[in-house]
Amino acid sequence: MTADRAAAGPGLRVERDKTTGVAVVTLDRERKHNAIDLGTAAELARVWREFRYEDEVRAIVLTGAGRAAFCTGIDRGVEVPQPSSPYSVDDPLVAIGPKANDLWKPVIAAVNGMACGGAFYLLGESEFIISSASATYFDPHTSYGMVSAYEAIYMAQRMPFGEAARMSLMGTTERLSARRAYEIGLVSELAEPEALLPAALRAAETLAGFPTEGVQGTVRSLWAAKQAALQQALAQAPGLIALGNLPPERQAELFAGRRSGAGPEPRVR
């Protein structure tokens, strides 16, 4: 990809190719498995909103640095103060997706490795997913005494209900293989790791080559088909999280136990 490189803020890398009309957004915290801190969350929102004004960008590929992980959700080192009201929750990931930022240009997710938890905010707002054959998908919330709300809602719209329920409930004990994700329709194409980005770019360049008004209108139409139900479901998420989450200190204990190697290795299915 011959690109006009433009550095984003910490944790994010953006490359714009003016020839093809494709931008590549890379979560660039490889040492942290591309987990999202507050700076990266703010930068994602800024970049999506900026793309709305860049007519030369007509399609976007979203991926992660390295091959180990696409994104592992919120960085566990982040402290997010919460309001005392049980009716309110501050979630730093609610605005990291393109649709949350009013961007209706097509976004293709190129999942290069492990995708879990808060990664589903991004996958849930992508048009379709191309996955490395070595990638895995799982939702750790229940293992740590946390409610999977936003994540489960997004995945329930993209997967058969039983599969979404199993992944959301089984926590860290199971991981969905890329092959199984493809079989159930979460993933639209599989590629070997070295062929992942070329496959995503090939699809993005095709979309960027079409008249952009028709492409964006089709994206908007597709989302209109499910947006009302999605917004109604997401509106319930803060209350469910406030009711069901363990206190942060207890969550930290469970997470520390997992990090220490306690418990069996997850089953990949």
At 64-113, the pLDDT tens digits run 999 999 999 999 888 888 788 777 778 889 999 999 999 999 999 999 99
Spell out the residues 6+ positions from residue 150 whose beta carbon is closer than 8 angstroms to its own: 91, 93, 94, 120, 121, 234, 237
The answer, yes or no, to whether residue 260 has pLDDT greater than 70, is no
> Which tokens hold the place of 225?
């088909």
Asked if 217 contacts 106 with a C-beta cutoff of 8 angstroms, the reply is: no
Q: State the Cα–Cα distance between residues 207 and 23, nearest whole angstrom.
A: 12
Strand partners, 132: 191
Q: State the Cα–Cα distance between residues 241 and 246, nearest whole angstrom.
A: 9
Spell out the residues 6+ positions from residue 232 whose beta carbon is closer than 8 angstroms to its own: none
| CATH class of the region 4-76+92-261 | alpha beta
Question: What is the model's pLDDT at position 127?
Answer: 98
Which of these ranges, 14-23, 215-224, 256-265, has the smallest mean pLDDT? 256-265
Compute CA distances 204 → 88, 124, 192, 208, whole Å: 38, 18, 18, 6
* DSSP conformational letter for 67: S
The answer, yes or no, to whether residue 2 has pLDDT greater than 50, is no
Question: What is the model's pLDDT at position 88?
Answer: 74
The answer, yes or no, to whether residue 5 has pLDDT greater than 80, is no
Q: What is the pLDDT of residues 227-244, one digit of tens each?
A: 888 888 888 888 888 888
pLDDT-above-90 percentage for the chain? 74
Asked if 14 contacts 53 with a C-beta cutoff of 8 angstroms, the reply is: no
Which of these ranges, 4-18, 24-38, 90-104, 139-153, has the smallest mean pLDDT? 4-18
pLDDT-above-70 percentage for the chain? 94
What is the mean predicted confidence (pLDDT) over 221-232? 90
Tokens 């089709």 correspond to 218
Q: What is the pLDDT of residues 20-30, one digit of tens each?
A: 999 999 999 99
pTM above 0.75, yes or no: yes
How big is the chain, counted in residues?
Answer: 269
Q: State the Cα–Cα distance between residues 205 and 223, nearest whole angstrom.
A: 21
What is the mean predicted confidence (pLDDT) over 18-45? 96
- Closest residue by Cα to residue 74 from 114, 38, 127: 38
What is the mean predicted confidence (pLDDT) over 2-20? 77
Compute CA distances 21 → 14, 60, 140, 150, 204, whole Å: 13, 9, 37, 31, 9
Q: What is the pLDDT of residues 83-93, one digit of tens each?
A: 887 777 788 89
